[in-house]
Structure 1
Amino acid sequence: MKKTLFDKVWDAHVVNSIENGPQILYIDKHLIHEVTSPQAFQELEERNIPVLRPNQIIATADHNTPTQDQHLPVKDLLSRNQLQKLSENCEKNGITLYELGHKYNGIVHVIAPELGFTQPGITIVCGDSHTSTHGAFGSIAFGIGTSQVAQVFASQCLLLTKPKSLRVTVNGTLKKGVLPKDVILYIISKIGTNAGTGYFCEYAGTVFENMSMEGRMTVCNMSIEMGARGGMIAPDETTFEYIKGKEFAPKGTEFDKKVAYWKTLPSDEDATFDKEYFFDADQIEPMITYGTNPGMGIKISETIPTLDDASFEKSLNYMGFKAGESLLAKPINYVFIGSCTNSRIEDFRIAADFIKGKQKAENVTAWLVPGSKQVEAQIVDEGLQTIFEAAGFELRQPGCSACLAMNDDKIPQNEYCVSTSNRNFEGRQGQGARTILASPLIAAATAIEGKIPDITKYYLN
């Protein structure tokens, strides 16, 4: 029987099956952070159960960490306590932890790939919904709840029902100025936020084959926003080249053996999927959202649609928008480039390339938050910091930051923020804050113009 990429990885990790029921799935790698791990550690301690395989876990501080003065004691009491608890739990259980200030510290979904901890053909979990990011490498990666974090600690396994398979194919060549973020926002705007519910999604076609690993991670990161359990892209030479030489990557002949196996993972030619969608690259343009879920997106040149729907009206009321309105030239006072969706070096290179030689609009507060200490170091080494600061942008230290406003990086009530993050829910970036999702290019151009830009004058043919 012909198998999909998802089938191959899933089936290779089934420890046992219950007839007409769930399966026990072995978990290769476990990522943890300060917010969803304390209760799981406590449960193990209360039941006197040890962490089974601590060497298959890495921990980092990221969700509610400050992005300024990280060398000083953390001011927020809750954050300080969570960070302290993470340190104690990791030390007690022999788990590798990258604390604030460590050269490998950063957002969990940024550091694992850049360290080579994320690899094709494995299963990865984390107590965070955007674990789907790691599927860009051809791994099965998904978020889990706190009780499941405890299960993995104790057994390195999970009891799960196998999701159905979904494939989204995009062929063709993207227009200039259209980035991976635009691709995934376009897909979600077309199929909706529930299309992936109960499915694992594979992205296929020339658009994804030609994407960088960083772009693929952006796409897979937002699989969860279409309701999918996770997203995957078949590993290829781009994947292998990215992994090679990284801290936790296989070395020498072991790497060659792994690559030989990884090459067997792509979906068989005649494999069937439970659901499929097809799109043409030339239909995609730079995207923005106008509502309070990621599916409420339009091409930047389009107007907000008109729908007779109560939740749609509620969303527009919250955002202060009207049906039929164009968002071009809408004044914007806040811009955020960061989050596990778009805080890698490629994202900052794109922003710097646009910003170079320009000045930020006076009305705009622009935060640039790298996804890791390694990205932060690259920004400095490549001279991007000089470009950003000369243009009036504020470069902060790594962390989740204004993506979910668990630290001090909050957008004020009723203010608009053009953000490269993944969610535009009510209050996501601060109580009453209004989030407009976009690519790093759109975010950078917004900061320069002080309003939503007509990007076509710069980039589109």
Structure 2
Amino acid sequence: MKPKTLFEKIWDTHVVKTIDEGPSVLYIDKHFIHEVTSPQAFRGLEERGLPVFRPKQIVATADHNVPTLNQHLPIQEALSRIQVQTLEKNCAKFGIELYGLGHPYQGIVHVIGPELGITQPGMTIVCGDSHTSTHGAFGTIAFGIGTSEVEMVMATQCLMQTRPRLMRINVEGTLHPGVLSKDIILYIIAKISSSGATGYAVEYAGSAIRALSMEARMTICNMSIEMGARCGMIAPDETTFSYIKGRKFAPSGNAWDQSLAYWKTLFTDPGASFDREMNIDASEIEPMITYGTNPGMGIGISGHVPNLRDVEETEKHSFEKSLRYMGLEPGMGIKGKKVDYVFIGSCTNSRIEDLRLVASFVKGKQKAKDVQVWIVPGSKQVEQQAQREGIDQIFADAGFTLRQPGCSACLGMNEDKIPPGKYCISTSNRNFEGRQGPNARTFLTSPLTAAAAAITGRVSDVRELI
């Protein structure tokens, strides 16, 4: 039998039909929805008189547009309020489980799926959100889809997809202190560019990946889309199984034994082939930071913005445009640059492990006086766990604000916007123009680098502070 990759093993078991010289009809195991990309899909079903085919395989939550303060009060922004209310009405009408505001399971869609044990190895998972690849950390094929595709999955529990090419990125060795999984993925994207993995499904492998926790693996898979990949994935192992066991919707008893036996077959066979491979030495990675307006524009914290002569001719116009937007100059170092806001949250870095890391660093310290610090947990469960562990008090003592769960300042669709011209060190996944608010300027970093900036008031090398 021909050796298979992890991707091929999952893909092949989910193909319902292959169209000659066309896409495959792929069965979808789990469909996550939220308030932004679902209303048009529900309307499309209603206009055609169609029911949701398998409502029990859909999980809904409110996350993108929700406020992160005073969630017990009516939402102030009209559009956000309408979208959240529309989600509530549609879920009630079509019989879909909704974890809305006030529900103990509410949170960012890519945080609650794993923490509730809904995300499990071997699944196909979709959501009308780019960062659905997060779930690939569990050994799933998970990817974002558009609104018309959301409607297609609601109606049929299937999706027409062209099989992507396959890439493996091997990260070997040991990370230095102060270097996190966010630095790994920012390093990879800086190497490969924001379009370097377009058309590929990427498997992350190697000793450095195996040494990561599940939360850290999710951070890496989350940003696969930022280099153009269709999805990112990591083969499940004992770390994966231990994380899932005992969670709310995880299998139990005999079902657990049967599931575990299958999950243990989900790895890339020796001799399986990839269309492209890339090798990374973990020891070469330092804390990373972006300087431009896409996640591929990244450098090590001790580095400098590229000089114009080092930029390819076809990229010079966009490079100069990015630097103008960011208020930076070619060849300058970013270390020491004053920051105005620090945002620690998003589906990339808002899990309890992220909050624990930040709390351990800032305990006994005070934030810089002229910096606003927003800590936004990824879910109600993360928020409550932080409170049980006293993390909220550590943050309060440091002058940080622990807000309520939501996507928050990752994107300018809710009340949490960075003011024009202000610099924000952010643990989110995108630094596009206006992403965090009109004319806001974003530096993407790890939670530790963000915490260091919160204390010093400037872009800092956390290795000098730990």
TM over 0.5: yes
Q: Secondary structure at the match of 1:255?
A: helix
Give secondary structure in 2 for the equivalent of 1:12.
helix
Question: How many Å separate the matches in 1 of 2:294 and 2:77?
Answer: 29
Equivalences for 1:101-180 in 2 at 5 Å? 101-180=102-181
Q: 2:339 aligns with which of 332, 337, 350?
A: 332
Q: Which residue of 2 aligns with 1:181?
A: 182
Number of aligned residues? 459
SS, match of residue 308 in structure 2: coil
Root-mean-square deviation over aligned CA pairs: 0.7
Partner of 2:226: 225
CA-CA distance at 1:455 after TM superposition: 2.2
Task: Give 2:410's aligned residue.
Answer: 403
Is the 1:329–1:454 contact (alpha carbons within 8 Å) kept by the matching residues of 2?
Answer: no
TM-score (norm 2): 0.98
1:167 positional shift: 0.5
Partner secondary structure for residue 34 of structure 1: coil
- Could you say which residue in structure 2 is the equivalent of 1:302? 303
What residue is the counterpart of 2:399 in the other structure? 392
Show the counterpart of 1:242: 243
Helix, strand or coil at the partner of 2:119: coil
Q: Which residue of 1 aligns with 2:313?
A: none
Q: 2:249 & 2:462 partners in 1: Cα distance? A: 40
Instruction: Say which SS state the counterpart of residue 423 (structure 1) adopts.
Output: coil
Query: What per-residue deviation string (whole Å, max 9, x for no partner) do you get for residues 231-258 of structure 1?
Result: 0000000000000011111011111111
Deviation sequence 1:241-276 (CA, Å, 0-9, x none): 000011111011111111110111100011100011
Separation (CA, whole Å) in 1 of partners of 2:100 and 2:24: 35
1:354 pairs with 2:361: yes
Q: Distance in 2 between matches of 1:201 and 1:250?
A: 27
> Which amino acid letter does the alignment assign opposite residue 390 of structure 1?
D
Paired with 1:85 and 1:398, the residues of 2 have a C-alpha distance of: 20
1:277 and 1:394 mapped to 2: Cα distance? Answer: 40
In 2, Cα distance between the equivalents of 1:405 and 1:378?
27
Structure 1 position 204, deviation (Å): 0.3
Query: Could you tell me whether the CA contact under 8 Å between 1:132 and 1:221 is conserved in 2?
Result: yes
Q: CA deviation digits over 1:198-253, x for unaligned, max 9?
A: 01000000011010000000000000000000100000000000000111110111
Task: Indicate the SS of the match to 1:97.
Answer: strand
Q: Which amino acid aligns with 1:415?
A: K
**Cα deviations across residues 12-33 of structure 1 (Å, max 9, x unaligned)?**
0000001121110000000000
Equivalences for residues 59-78 of structure 1 within 5 A: 59-78=60-79
1:58 matched to 2:65? The reply is no
- Structure 2 spans left out of the alignment, 5+ residues: 310-315
* Counterpart position of 2:450: 443
Cα pair 1:414 1:432 within 8 Å, conserved:
yes
1:378-433 superposed Cα distances (whole Å, 9 cap, x missing partner)? 11000100100001001100000000021110001110000000000000000000
TM-superposed CA distance for 1:328, in Å, is 1.1
Q: Partners in 2 of 1:102 and 1:420 — Cα distance?
A: 25
Shift of 1:458: 2.4
Amino acid at match of 2:204: Y
1:370 equivalent to 2:380? Answer no
In 2, distance between residues paired with 1:376 and 1:405?
Answer: 22
Q: Please state how far the C-alpha of 1:456 moved relative to its aligned partner.
A: 2.8
Please tell me whether the aligned partners of residues 196 and 228 of structure 1 are also in contact (alpha carbons under 8 angstroms).
yes
Q: Please tell me whether the aligned partners of residues 68 and 405 of structure 2 are also in contact (alpha carbons under 8 angstroms).
A: yes
**Residue type of the partner of 2:80?**
S
Question: Which deviations, in whole Å up to 9, do the C-alpha atoms of 1:57-98 show, x marking residues without a partner?
Answer: 000000010001000111111111111111111011110000
Q: Does 1:42 align with 2:43?
A: yes
Shift of 1:307: 2.8
- Please give the alpha-carbon distance, in whole angstroms, between the structure 1 residues aligned to 2:73 and 2:457: 33
Structure 1 runs of 4+ aligned residues shifted over 6 Å read none
Any conservation in 2 of the 1:420–1:440 contact (CA below 8 Å)?
yes
In the alignment, the residues of structure 1 paired with residue 76 and residue 57 of structure 2 have an alpha-carbon distance, to the nearest angstrom, of 32
Distance in structure 2 (CA, Å) of the matches to 1:449 and 1:251: 47
Unaligned runs of 5+ in 1: none
User: Normalization by structure 1: what TM-score?
Assistant: 0.99
> Is the 1:334–1:365 Cα contact (8 Å) retained in structure 2?
yes
Q: Which residue of 1 aligns with 2:425?
A: 418
**Contact 1:4/1:272 (CA < 8 Å) preserved in 2?**
yes
Alignment partners' CA distance in 1, 2:385 and 2:78: 32
Check conservation: 1:192, 1:226, Cα contact below 8 A. yes
Distance 1:307 1:447 in 2: 31
Identity of matched residues, %: 66
Question: Displacement, 1:101?
Answer: 1.1
Matched to 1:270, the amino acid is G
